[in-house]
Amino acid sequence: MSGFIKKKKYGQNFLTSDRIPARIAAESGITSECGVIEIGPGLGVLTKQLLAVAKKVVAIEIDTELIPILTEKFADEENFRLINEDVLNVDLDKLIAEHFPDMPVCVCANLPYYITTPILMKLLEGKHGFITITVMVQKEVAQRLCSKCGDSEYGAITASVNYYASVKRLFPVKAGSFSPPPKVDSAVIRFDLYDTPPVAPVDENTFFAVIRAAFAQRRKTLLNALCTAFSDRLSRDELAAIITEAGLTQDVRGEKTDNKTLCFISDKIFFNINGGNQK
């Protein structure tokens, strides 16, 4: 371990004690039946705790220099595998089929903050059947992801993750718990993924286009936002009628609109554009 110099470019702020990793593992919902994918094991502080609670851990680490360190540290652990790869390039379905063919799978990570959103969206959009995803993120990101519709922090990312999972803030973590300390405090959050999502749009692409439109410009009305996004396919009058049908007023703002209503709107838009049976 001596001689390893932490790399800022990989977001290497390592947890310095066992206390926080142990709490992350304890509150992650991971059981002795579970396989775990850990993203960014670093020097292995969280890995050690995950190995204590899970059946098997597969860790994905981008930094080649950490591979011999981790290999040596966990040499005696039969249920540990290490993949030297950028997580964004890993085929997770293949990994799951290879390493966890008959296990429920969870994800756990102290995330590299520079790619928090792409990692989370890859994990959620991929529909890999994860039971839980427990991650350390920046405090502000945690606030945003755990906010409720109508809160000032609620945005497109919140609406998107809420489609896949319920999100809960587990506990805060001070910057001083890391080496080197990041510029911001952090928090651990947990996603419990839905077997059946609470809203079921007929077309996910339209649903996410409606979410993007609704939150793109906060001061715009939902009607104006939808006009900008769909003006090539629907008239203003058609969109206004859909908003009325959804039980909303014409001056409602997108940011105040929950997923159930956005789903209703997206289905109407989809059927207006494509024809077919309406709900």
Number of H helices, E strands in the chain: 11, 9
Decide if residue 173 touches ligand SAM (CB under 6 A): no
Structure tokens at 114: 């520079």
To ligand SAM, the closest distance from the beta carbon of 113 in angstroms equals: 7
Q: Report long-range pairs for 219-227 (Cβ below 8 Å, ≥24 apart).
A: 219/253, 220/253, 220/254, 221/250, 221/251, 221/252, 221/253, 221/254, 222/248, 222/252, 222/253, 222/254, 222/257, 223/250, 223/251, 223/252, 225/254, 226/265, 226/269
Stretch that binds ligand SAM, among 12-20, 158-166, 252-260, 265-273 (CB under 6 A): 12-20
CB 63, min distance to ligand SAM, A:
4
In terms of Cβ atoms closer than 10 Å to its own Cβ (0-12, 13-18, 19+), residue 39 is buried
Q: How near is the Cβ of 174 to ligand SAM at its closest, in Å?
A: 14
Q: Is 254 in the site for ligand SAM (CB under 6 A)?
A: no
86 binds ligand SAM (CB under 6 A): yes
Q: How far is the CB of 109 from ligand SAM (least distance, A)?
A: 7
The window from 6-14, 72-80, 192-200, 258-266 that contacts ligand SAM (CB under 6 A) reads 6-14
> Which residues 6+ apart lie within 8 Å of 161 measured at CB?
120, 124, 145, 167, 191
Select 42 or 155, whichever has its Cβ closest to ligand SAM.
42
The residue range among 59-67, 94-102, 161-169, 254-262 that interacts with ligand SAM, by the rule CB under 6 A, is 59-67
Nearer to ligand SAM, 44 or 155 (CB): 44
Among candidates 87, 91, 150, 82, which has minimal Cα distance to 120?
87
Site for ligand SAM in 111-170 (CB under 6 A): 112, 115
For CA atoms 142, 144, 145, 150, the dihedral sign is positive
Among 25, 53, 58, 62, binds ligand SAM (CB under 6 A): 62
Q: Give, in degrees to the nearest 5, the angle at Cα 214 between 213 and 215.
A: 95
Question: Does 13 help bind ligand SAM (rule: CB under 6 A)?
Answer: yes
End-to-end CA distance of the chain: 60
Of residues 34, 46, 95, 188, which one binds ligand SAM by CB under 6 A?
46
Backbone dihedral angles phi then psi of residue 187, each to the nearest 5 degrees: -155, 150
Residue from 28, 35, 41, 131 binding ligand SAM (CB under 6 A): 41
Does 242 bind ligand SAM (CB under 6 A)? Our answer is no
Q: Interface with ligand SAM by CB under 6 A: which range of 38-46, 121-129, 152-160, 168-176? A: 38-46
Residue 42 engages ligand SAM in binding (rule: CB under 6 A): yes
Between CA 70 and CA 67 the distance in angstroms is: 5
Rule CB under 6 A: which residues touch ligand SAM?
Answer: 10-15, 39-42, 45-46, 60-63, 86-88, 110, 112, 115
